[in-house]
Amino acid sequence: MRLSDSIESFIKTLLNQEETEVELKRNELAEYFGCAPSQINYVLATRFSPDHGYLIESRRGGGGYIRIVRVVQTGAQRLMYLINERIGEAISEVEAVRLIAQLLEQQLISRNEAEIMRAAISAQALSVPMPDAMKDAQRARILKTMLTAIARQNREEK
């Protein structure tokens, strides 16, 4: 397991189902994992961002801390945020795949839905002769349409 994955897993273990926030000291965490504090910053920036459903508060200095807060949203709220704010007018394949993985991890989509979504936004599916910018725009429309259908289906099932 890579160091970044270990740090992420450790923090997520601390943020169990009951706890929505955890307070840590960056230097102590870096010492525990035997890495530079910048590695902790990297994990926080890439794995605990608002797009991942977290807010980070920090205070630097001797008594400094990092507070990680899990934003609690319903599945429909999260999907609507992604459709309206996160995806935008265009999205790369790498970002789209990362987003689908997050949805799967948060159990907002099933494994089958994730596989179908990955196939629909893949380079192979969009292998028509057009500029990459147009492919990214098409990918965003496909992803938004699929998420809207999932949100509608989830609403109808309740």
If you write DSSP's letter for every residue of 73-108 in order, what string do you get? --HHHHHHHIIIIISTT---HHHHHHHHHHHHHTTS
Cα(75)–Cα(16) distance, rounded to whole angstroms?
A: 18
The pTM assigned to this predicted structure is: 0.58
- What pLDDT does 121 receive? 95
Which carries the bigger pLDDT value, residue 30 or residue 53?
A: 30
88 sits in the region (left: phi over 0; alpha: psi -120 to 50; else beta) called left
Q: Note the pLDDT tens digit of each residue in 110-128.
A: 999 999 999 999 999 999 8
Nearest to 61 by CA among 31, 27, 33: 27
pLDDT of 129 above 60: yes
Architecture of domain 75-157: Orthogonal Bundle (1.10)
Give residue 54's pLDDT band: very low, low, confident or very high (50, 70, 90).
confident
53 and 78 Cβ atoms separated by less than 8 Å: yes
Architecture of domain 3-70: 2-Layer Sandwich (3.30)
pLDDT of 16 above 90: no
Q: In the chain, what are the domain boundaries?
A: 3-70, 75-157
As a whole number, the mean pLDDT across the chain is 84
- What pLDDT does 98 receive? 87
- What pLDDT does 75 receive? 64
121 and 49 Cβ atoms separated by less than 8 Å: no
Q: What is the DSSP letter of 49?
A: S
Cα(78)–Cα(6) distance, rounded to whole angstroms?
A: 26
Cα(137)–Cα(133) distance, rounded to whole angstroms?
A: 6
pLDDT of 158 above 60: no
State which amino acid sits at residue 130.
Answer: M
